[in-house]
A = this chain, B = another copy of it.
Amino acid sequence: MRIKVIVPITSDLLNEEVRKEVAVYGGTGVEYDVENLDYGPASIECEYDEAMAVPDILYKTQKAAEDGFDGVVIDCFGDPGVKAARELVDIPVCGGFEPSVLLAAGLGQRLGIVTVLPDVVPMLEDLARKMGLHDRVVCIRYVNIPVLELGDKAKLEDALYRQSLEAIEKDGAHVIILGCTGMMGMAANLHNRLKENGYDVPVIDPAWAAIKMVECYVSMQLKHSRLTYRVPREKPHKWWG
């Protein structure tokens, strides 16, 4: 099984870390190829960023399918371009949000998300509404750290712990979902710290969730429904450049 991981930012800043993570997460015998964008924004933190990242995500998804990959992970919690990408190809495509929420929904009743910035909260609420699951998402909190500053792991870890605690104690969350695929390597420690403080709750790493979900669909020989995601009709167009 070969899976393409598209990191939808225009630098290769995160590629190495993503490669290391998927080497740990990935299933036996699964091969991962990690790639960033050529065109788009440096990070996705609002609807505008997302819109500008999507064309190249779609190009790279289609390329991955042509290159014989078995599945595609769009490595961003906002699921940018996921629905359009599914129209283009016949292999499973997942972003971070949908798999995280689905896996979390099987582990507990009330889901809490801790993301990066207030800017993305309405987008995530929209995603939850589209899934019909927004009434199980009891809060969408944020650490108030931009994506490209998540590298300060100590600061991030502390902020995640504080927000997760509030999610549990104030909002009644039973499961914590990390709301950015850039929050790599945080889930296990956060889980332990919460457990030591009396809250034995699952913590979902969205990149890991995305990878497992794609592996799962590939192994089950399943792909998205062609009644929800129909093949785009051929038509004239004018692309850039």
Contact = CB atoms under 8 A, between A and B. Distances in A.
Interface string A86-130: 111000001000110011011111100000001100110110011
Contacts of A47: 83-84, 86-87, 229
Interface stretch (A65-73, A178-186, A215-223): A215-223
Interface string A204-234: 1100110011001101111111111110110
A197 interface: no
Interface of A: 10-11, 25, 27-29, 37-43, 45-52, 54-55, 58, 81, 83-84, 86-88, 94, 98-99, 102-103, 105-110, 118-119, 122-123, 125-126, 129-136, 146, 148, 168, 174-175, 188, 199-202, 204-205, 208-209, 212-213, 216-217, 219-230, 232-233, 235-241
Contacts of A81: 51
5 contacts: A39-B240, A41-B236, A48-B84, A51-B58, A132-B136
A224 B202 contact: yes
A102 B106 contact: yes
Given A103-B102, A200-B226, A240-B241, A46 B233 contact: yes
A188 B221 CA distance: 9
B235 A174 contact: no
A46 B10 CA distance: 26
Which are the 6 A-B pairs with shortest beta-carbon distances? A108-B225, A240-B240, A241-B241, A200-B226, A47-B84, A108-B228
Interface core residue of A51, A119, A204, A230 (most chain B CB under 10 Å): A51
Copies of this chain, count? 6
B54 A238 contact: no
Nearest to A230: B119
Contacts of A98: 105-106
Contacts of A94: 106
B237 A52 contact: yes
A160 B60 CA distance: 38
Contacts of A212: 216, 219-220
Nearest to A94: B106
A88 B129 CA distance: 24
Given A10-B236, A48-B58, A222-B204, A228 B109 contact: yes
